[in-house]
Chains A and B, each alone.
Chain A
Amino acid sequence: MVLQTPTSPNLVKADIPLADVDLKRKDYASDIDTRWCPGCGDYSILAQMQRSLSNLNVAPEKMVFVSGIGCSSRFPYYMNTYGMHSIHGRAPTIASGLKLARPDLMVFVITGDGDALSIGGNHLLHVLRRNVDVKIFLFNNRIYGLTKGQYSPTSELGKVTKSSPVGTTERPLNPLSVALASEATFVARSYDTDPQHLTETIEQAARHHGAAFVEILQNCNIFNDRAFADYTDRNVRDERLLYLEHGQPMLFGEEKDKGLAVSNTGLQVVDAHGPEAGLILNHDATRPSPDLHQLLARCAYPEMPVPMGVIRQVNAPTYGDYLDGQIEVAKFRNRHDIAQLLRGRSTWQVE
């Protein structure tokens, strides 16, 4: 059976289980003391998550956070929802089984750069490829924090860490590129020090029908301090970040005086008031092909502005839509009599 692919975002229902009373941010906080280092970017992410859920008014009993291992994976303990702090890299698998068995639940995965892209790389590819309706938040601090400072799969080439005393010898993965290579239906980026943007991004992910992937740039002030400061510091971010909005021209700069246009070799920065201004692209998050989205994902400081926001959001049936559809059709078409099933293709009588 083939499901119709919805053509407009309006056709997709958000699937958010709502609470029957108005809940505040603190209603989503558990009574466990947080144990991240003072100054860790995780605190802001936790606060914005609680704020987002409150804005959406999600029913806490219908909400499950599944995490792997690492600093970020302590996250579920601090949420007053259901949660499982599982094993290293495997949260997407547990989340997939849970969501498929319990479509009524809203399932969020909290992971880190090591958890999702190193030990759990395989699972990340497949949960996104399958479009299981879970939301994945990857806290990228480009370092192993919980094991005290070894390089991670997103650490830059040559980075000096405890396990690379004269610099790493391997190139980093770009998390957005990985997600787009899996043709994830929702791919976004935000960062810990812009609460409003982060809150909005989390809410957009929550409203997406299908697998959502959100990279959150997160500062580890102990082992990799200021990893993103070159472009996220308050005084430079307007010049160096590109805030994406679907349907809007891709402009950046304090005066919105620069924009992104397609060049012969990819994307290029053009003057928004110059002769090439007409070439500036409107951001289209919904184009089915991830080609332009990949070009955006590759934009990196210092050559290019760093994109923030929803890079890609397309509508497609989820794994659960297909699976439940097959079950529904099979129940309609075929006999489902267990006594007959036990008898098999043929039987014989012994008198």
Chain B
Amino acid sequence: MNEATLVLYAIYIFMLAVFVGFEVISKVPVQLHTPLMSGTNAIHGIVMLGGMLVLAEASTPLLTWLGFAAVVLGAMNLFGGFVVTDRMLEMFKTKKPAGGKS
């Protein structure tokens, strides 16, 4: 496969992901806005993988430290994001049993 085809594939992926991104959350109730924002925030923590890649390939000390910083920031985004989202949604879960008892 030549370079131009690969670029086109990347653009296909991008375009389809735009539509899926819009479609998948089109009907979200207001009380889920905050957790959903937090959940999507966690998903872009995948940037950590990009940091891993540039760090793996780094050949100078400067690039190594930049890559290392990217991995640390990305990991904070990724792990912190999922934990925060889970803490928010945990509240929604405990709500129902509590309501049932009273």
Q: Decide whether A and B assemble into one complex.
A: no
Chain A: residues with CB nearer than 8 A to chain B?
A: none
